[in-house]
Amino acid sequence: MTSEEKKAFLLLKSVIFHYHGLDEDEQKILDETAKKYDAEEELKWANEFIANDYISAFERAREYLNKIIGRLEKDKRLSYLDMVWRANNQKGYITEMEATAMLKLAKDWNIEDELIEMVKR
């Protein structure tokens, strides 16, 4: 994963977790992800991106992610959303807002049907 992809992935994960307000479990998952991918600076960047304007964070992130992740091959786009979906399951729940946000991104990336099928499994 390139540094640009690390930024995009951590922004994706972080903005989904922030969608309803970041809690301690979610922060722990983000920190573990950053450590796993040697991406502490990229997580810092993602957190600053969101903090810059919390209200518009999802729409700004969506625009950014469409430029970075949206151009990757289909399997990789789906893989990123799958990892975020699993991270939500790791904390024990997925809110309707988080699911809706992921569906919006899946639609942007032309993988909506694939995400729905993946979730059904």
Residue ranges making up the domain that contains 46? 3-120
Q: Quote the strand ranges of the chain, DSSP E.
A: none
pLDDT tens, residue by residue, 104-114: 999 999 999 99
Convert 72-98 to b/e letters by CB count within 10 Å (16 or more is b): eeeeebbbbbbebbebbeeeeebeeeb
* pLDDT digits 0-9 by tens, 26-59: 899 999 999 999 999 999 999 999 999 999 999 9
The pLDDT tens digits for 10-29 are 999 999 998 877 888 889 99
What is the pLDDT at residue 111?
95
What distances in angstroms separate CA 102 from CA 40, 57, 119, one per listed residue? Answer: 23, 14, 11
Check residue 3 and give its pLDDT. Answer: 87
Q: What is the pLDDT of residues 47-102, one digit of tens each?
A: 999 999 999 999 999 999 999 998 899 999 999 999 999 998 888 888 888 999 99
**Longest distance between any two alpha carbons in the chain, whole Å:** 37
Q: What is the pLDDT of residue 84?
A: 92
Based on the structure, what is the number of domains in the chain? 1
